[in-house]
């Protein structure tokens, strides 16, 4: 795969309607202010630093997410005491997972116990941003992280080659009920790899998905959604909007 980040960002948006954080280990915080370049958000400020109050609601559902491309990757769970799949280096006594990637456009994305952070005073934030823009203290390229998914633990694997295989071995104390690719308690380690992958195995506290709002879209410069209708004074700016992902943002 020539550009794994481009494929990952596009795949995750198509599956979730969120923007995906790149790289996945980059920590985002609700209320961060940044600019997007080639799909990557660089942080410049925050609502707190700009003196704009933020009210945050957290939905702690405890649910898991799975946005794996199951049509191009197979995952076999190996229980301790069971026979491994053909070609695996896992022994009968091992617990773990055997993954087979059928193409270089395959993604494993699994989380455990995720929560969603949302700004709930968007009308007040919008007015503050537009006021700052009018007085010259707000960069029109700035985007605010207004919604953020945080995972207690996540495993993200991006295949860079066709016909790749990956064996992940769990620690000796792993029980049957614990066997999840996103479970950090398993202590998963790579036992064998054939082919090339980008791997983020049971990483804690990732913020892999987010939404941003701002005055101007990073590619199109045109709006797509409104929080509310506020006329642009003198026609100088567009209203504050969700800036949806567009694949044309990404460099070739």
H-assigned helices in the chain:
4-16, 122-134
Query: Does residue 156 belong to any structural domain of this protein?
Result: yes
Query: Does residue 29 belong to any structural domain of this protein?
Result: yes
- Residue 78 pLDDT greater than 70, yes or no: yes
Higher pLDDT, 70 or 50: 50
Query: Does residue 168 belong to any structural domain of this protein?
Result: yes
Q: What percent of the chain has pLDDT over 90?
A: 68
Separation of alpha carbons 222 and 214, rounded Å: 11
Query: Does residue 191 belong to any structural domain of this protein?
Result: yes
The closest of 152, 64, 68, 159 to 109, measured between CA atoms, is 68
- Please check whether residue 215 is in contact with residue 133, taking contact to mean a CB–CB distance below 8 angstroms: yes
Domain of residue 20, residue span: 4-82+94-249
Query: Does residue 171 belong to any structural domain of this protein?
Result: yes
The closest of 71, 97, 110 to 206, measured between CA atoms, is 110
- Residue 174 pLDDT greater than 70, yes or no: no
Query: Does residue 19 belong to any structural domain of this protein?
Result: yes
Query: Does residue 88 belong to any structural domain of this protein?
Result: no
Tally of structural domains, the chain: 1
- Residue 173 pLDDT greater than 70, yes or no: no
Average pLDDT, the chain: 88
Query: Does residue 89 belong to any structural domain of this protein?
Result: no
């Amino acid at each position: 795969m020539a550009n794994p980040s481009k494929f990952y960002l596009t795949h995750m948006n198509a599956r979730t309607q969120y923007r995906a954080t790149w790289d996945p280990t980059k920590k985002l915080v609700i209320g961060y202010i940044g600019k997007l370049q080639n799909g990557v958000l660089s942080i410049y400020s925050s609502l707190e630093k700009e003196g704009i109050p933020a009210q945050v609601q957290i939905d702690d559902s405890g649910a898991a997410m799975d946005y794996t491309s199951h049509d191009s990757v197979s995952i076999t769970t190996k229980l301790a005491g069971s026979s491994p799949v053909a070609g695996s280096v896992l022994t009968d006594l091992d617990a773990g997972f055997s993954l087979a990637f059928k193409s270089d456009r395959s993604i494993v994305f699994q989380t455990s116990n995720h929560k969603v952070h949302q700004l709930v005073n968007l009308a007040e934030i919008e007015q503050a941003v537009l006021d700052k823009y009018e007085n010259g203290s707000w960069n029109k390229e700035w985007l605010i992280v207004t919604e953020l998914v945080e995972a207690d633990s996540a495993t993200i694997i991006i295949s860079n080659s066709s016909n790749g295989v990956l064996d992940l071995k769990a620690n000796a104390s792993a029980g049957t009920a614990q066997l999840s690719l996103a479970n950090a308690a398993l202590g998963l380690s790579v036992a064998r790899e054939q082919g090339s992958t980008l791997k983020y195995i049971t990483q804690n506290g990732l913020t892999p998905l987010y939404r941003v709002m701002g005055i101007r879209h990073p590619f199109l410069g045109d709006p797509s959604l409104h929080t509310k209708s506020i006329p642009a004074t003198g026609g100088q700016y567009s209203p504050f909007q969700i800036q949806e992902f567009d694949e044309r943002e990404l460099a070739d």
